A = this chain, B = another copy of it.
């Protein structure tokens, strides 16, 4: 949510805290279950506890942080079951975006999607994981925007960010890039010919496969939590 605000280079300390802490969670620098001590965070960012508290409250409202009254906040811990439910939701949301994209993308949007997608083929050949990941993100963002529905866009982006910590691992899997590109290709092809049903299905399958890949890592990765905020 708050889609428009996230673009703003906000001056308020609270928003900076939300972004700072949120980023660290989403990028996996802060791991699920890790304790978020108000005083330490305040010291770490050189602000008072108030903005940190407000930020934790907002992150809690977003689901990234879990707050136990009087007992502090921790990075939200997701159970296997909840993780699965998020991936399943993600698949459905992406399916909706792809379906709507197939029906509603403007000519310019279709062109841009296809162009960028074709360009990314080069990155697959080179095995440029990092760069491909960037294109991958951009690719999916195009689908979300192409749906021309701000609320679905917000829900999807939000869900995606909550899944982010569990997705990074997948790229270590060998052959993943080529597979991903082919799946994208199915989606693009369907969208280009305006086949909303096929686009939806292709997008859903794409996420499902990512989900399976990530689930493997989610299983073990979770034990060694205790770690201090630097």
Interface residues, chain A, CB within 8 Å of chain B?
Answer: 1-2, 5, 10-12, 14-15, 50, 53-54, 57-63, 67, 69, 81-82, 85-86, 88-89, 92, 96, 149-152, 154-155, 159
Give, as a whole number of angstroms, the nearest-CB distance from A36 to chain B. 15
Could you tell me if B69 and A149 are in contact, using CB atoms closer than 8 angstroms? no
Chain B residues near A1 (CB, 8 Å)? 61-63
Given A10-B69, A54-B54, A69-B12, A149–B88 Cβ distance below 8 Å? yes
- State in angstroms the CA–CA spacing of A81 and B152 once bound together: 13
Q: Is the CB of B63 within 8 A of A2?
A: yes
In the complex, the answer to whether A57 meets B57 with C-beta atoms within 8 Å is yes
Distance of A226 from chain B, by nearest CB (Å):
19
Shortest CB distance A157–B (Å): 12
CA distance A63 to B1 in the complex (A): 6
Q: Considering the complex, give the chain B residue whose CB is closest to the CB of A63.
A: B1
* Cβ-defined contact, A151 with B62, below 8 A: no
* Nearest CB in chain B to that of A154: its residue: B63
Give every chain B residue within 8 A of A85 (Cβ-Cβ). Answer: 149-152
Q: Given contacts A1-B63, A58-B58, A61-B61, could you give 7 more A-B pairs where the C-beta distance is less than 8 Å?
A: A2-B61, A12-B69, A54-B54, A57-B58, A85-B149, A85-B150, A88-B149
Residues of B within 8 A of A63 (CB): 1-2, 154
25 of the cross-chain contacts (CB-CB < 8 Å) are A1-B61, A1-B62, A1-B63, A5-B67, A10-B69, A11-B69, A50-B50, A53-B54, A54-B54, A54-B57, A57-B57, A58-B60, A58-B61, A59-B61, A82-B150, A82-B151, A85-B149, A85-B150, A85-B152, A86-B151, A88-B149, A88-B151, A88-B152, A89-B149, A151-B159
Q: Of residues A2, A10, A50, which shows the largest number of chain B Cβ atoms within 10 Å of its Cβ? A: A2
Contacts of A149 in B (CB 8 A): 85, 88-89
Q: Report the minimal beta-carbon distance from A9 to chain B, rounded to whole angstroms.
A: 11
